[in-house]
């Protein structure tokens, strides 16, 4: 099946919208007659929604899943082109992420992980291209350079962040750490400018922007410290958790298990291609109306709509002032993630930074395609933003500029998250001052409407692990409440 989402280009086909994915659901609905009122409606079939749906169905609740897209996965899904998975959004997982590993174990997918890096052959080097020229390093030298720069950036307490953020899942309850949400990454870089070499400055800025895909001025220093703490306060931890291990058959091979298990209970109704227009909570029931004027009612609703999209939904009663203010600010990640299939197998062991002049700044050799070509995954952000489907030539130039002379492009694959109306950005990354003011409010319910999304998880916020965390929380809440209500009625 082919999704409407995503683009691919080859010289033979030109630019084509839509890529094949096992996450596409057919038929798009299993509603065959007039729908009786269900127990809970879940909006969104990303990992948060899939987790909530599955857990609620297993608990015996009647669940309706409403999804705007033609597929599951939300911001984490994979294409399958010629038998090779290109990850369109969220990609990497790690056994140290407890919610993810629980689900990987549940679906017996422990043997489905593979490493992204392979430095056993080929050019086997790191290439740093800056305004001062191009240099190559061994991967050991790359790691030493980045570790040195990052240690200077995060070391606000003499213990690389351990002292001020000993419990990253409960960070805002430590008064000493709240001050860092008032700072941007640029503010912190200004403090340590004198201690950084030019190469350190280039790589640390690139790494920060790889994480936030924003600008240095709009990147929360606190949120970067939070990522750093979750990764064990080390650069090697960042590599391991953030960019090292992925599914052999792609993220959609993981997500589909959640959906299939929910369907197998007999308690799930679903409708895809159904963007939501409004949500009304009145007289003890919640009514959802879609853009095509269909309405559905339940006792509870779980909204997994991302922060940057919530402003497109009409809520009655209106959302509170603080939540509305946070929605209006939004998160800042405007990632451009481009997959390039290049002819040289030697580039499998290559990594590179091209900064600040290039529109794609960070890239790695991430796999070998069935044709024997190298898969390069490239990242850019808001600082040098491009719309890849609107100017394919500039996109090709940006890929080639990462390693001139070595990027003979055979295929490009991408999903433009900035132009995606159901995402309006990629993974969550906070601007300064948003989380310290609004995190609790974003996590709060609104009457019979619960809000669950990785954007406001307390642990791996913005990650797949955080999405599963949030879906688990929401399903537990509605299950306990609706079971309690049923028990009370039974005793009347």
3-state percent helix, strand, coil for the chain, nearest multiple of 5: 40, 25, 40
Helix H, strand E, coil C: the string for 226-294 is: HHHHHCCCCHHHHHHHHHCEEECCCHHHHHHHHHHHHHHCCCEEEECCCCEEEEEEECCEEEEEECCCC
Residue 26, number of CB atoms within 10 A of its CB = 9
48 annotated as belonging to a binding site for a ligand: yes
Q: Are 432 and 285 in contact (CB under 8 A)?
A: no
67 annotated as belonging to a binding site for a ligand: yes
Q: What is the DSSP letter of 465?
A: H
Please name the residues in contact with 159: beta carbons below 8 A apart, sequence gap of 6 or more: 233
Q: Are 429 and 417 in contact (CB under 8 A)?
A: no
User: Pairing between strand 350-354 and 362-368?
Assistant: antiparallel
379 annotated as belonging to a binding site for a ligand: yes
154 annotated as belonging to a binding site for a ligand: no
Element (H, E) at 148: helix 139-154
68 annotated as belonging to a binding site for a ligand: yes
3-state DSSP call for residue 388? coil
Q: How far is CA 177 from the centre of its chain?
A: 25
3-state DSSP call for residue 427? coil
Please name the residues in contact with 404: beta carbons below 8 A apart, sequence gap of 6 or more: none
Binding residues for FAD: 48, 67-68, 276
- Residues at the binding site are 48, 67-68, 276, 379
Binding site as annotated, residues for substrate:
379
């Amino acid at each position: 099946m082919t999704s409407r989402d995503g683009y691919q280009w080859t010289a033979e086909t030109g630019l084509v919208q839509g890529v094949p994915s096992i996450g596409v659901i057919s038929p798009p609905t299993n509603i065959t007659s007039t729908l009786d009122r269900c127990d809970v409606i879940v909006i969104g079939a990303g990992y948060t929604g899939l987790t909530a749906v599955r857990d609620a169905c297993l608990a015996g609740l009647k669940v309706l899943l409403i999804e705007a897209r033609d597929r599951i996965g939300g911001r984490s899904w994979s294409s399958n082109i010629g038998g090779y998975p290109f990850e369109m959004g969220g990609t990497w997982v790690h056994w140290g992420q407890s919610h993810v590993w629980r689900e990987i174990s549940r679906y017996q997918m422990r043997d489905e992980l593979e490493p992204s890096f392979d430095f056993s052959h080929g050019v086997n080097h790191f290439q740093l291209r800056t305004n001062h020229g191009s240099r190559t390093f061994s991967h050991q030298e790359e790691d030493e350079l980045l570790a040195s720069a990052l240690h200077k950036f995060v070391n606000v307490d003499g213990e690389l962040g351990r002292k001020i953020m000993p419990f990253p899942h409960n960070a805002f309850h430590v008064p000493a750490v709240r001050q860092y949400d008032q700072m941007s990454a640029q503010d912190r870089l200004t403090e340590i400018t004198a201690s950084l070499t030019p190469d350190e400055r280039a790589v640390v800025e690139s790494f920060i922007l790889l994480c936030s895909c924003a600008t240095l001025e709009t990147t929360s220093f606190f949120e970067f410290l939070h990522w750093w703490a979750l990764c064990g306060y080390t650069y090697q931890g960042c590599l391991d958790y953030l960019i090292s291990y992925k599914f052999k058959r792609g993220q959609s091979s993981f997500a589909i298990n959640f959906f299939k298990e929910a369907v197998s209970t007999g308690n799930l109704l679903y409708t895809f291609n159904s963007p939501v227009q409004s949500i009304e909570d009145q007289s003890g029931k919640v009514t959802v109306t879609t853009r095509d004027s269909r309405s559905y009612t339940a006792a509870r609703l779980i909204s997994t709509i991302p922060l940057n999209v919530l402003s497109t939904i009409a809520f009655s009663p209106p959302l509170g002032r603080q939540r509305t203010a946070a929605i209006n600010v939004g998160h800042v990640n405007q990632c451009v993630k481009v997959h390039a299939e290049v002819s040289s197998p030697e580039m499998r062991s290559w990594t590179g930074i091209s900064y600040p002049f290039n529109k794609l700044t960070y890239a790695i050799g991430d796999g070998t395609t069935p044709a024997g070509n190298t898969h390069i995954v490239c990242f850019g952000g808001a600082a040098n933003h491009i719309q890849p489907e609107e100017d394919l030539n500039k996109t090709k130039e940006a890929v080639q500029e990462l390693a001139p002379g070595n990027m003979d492009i055979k295929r490009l694959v991408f999903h433009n998250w900035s132009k995606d109306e159901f995402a309006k950005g990629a993974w969550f990354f906070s601007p300064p001052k948003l989380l310290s003011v609004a995190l609790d409010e974003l996590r709060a319910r609104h009457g019979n409407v619960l809000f669950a999304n990785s954007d406001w998880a307390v642990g791996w916020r913005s990650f797949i692990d955080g999405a599963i965390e949030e879906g688990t929380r929401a399903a537990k809440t509605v299950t306990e409440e609706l079971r309690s209500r049923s028990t009370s009625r039974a005793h009347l």
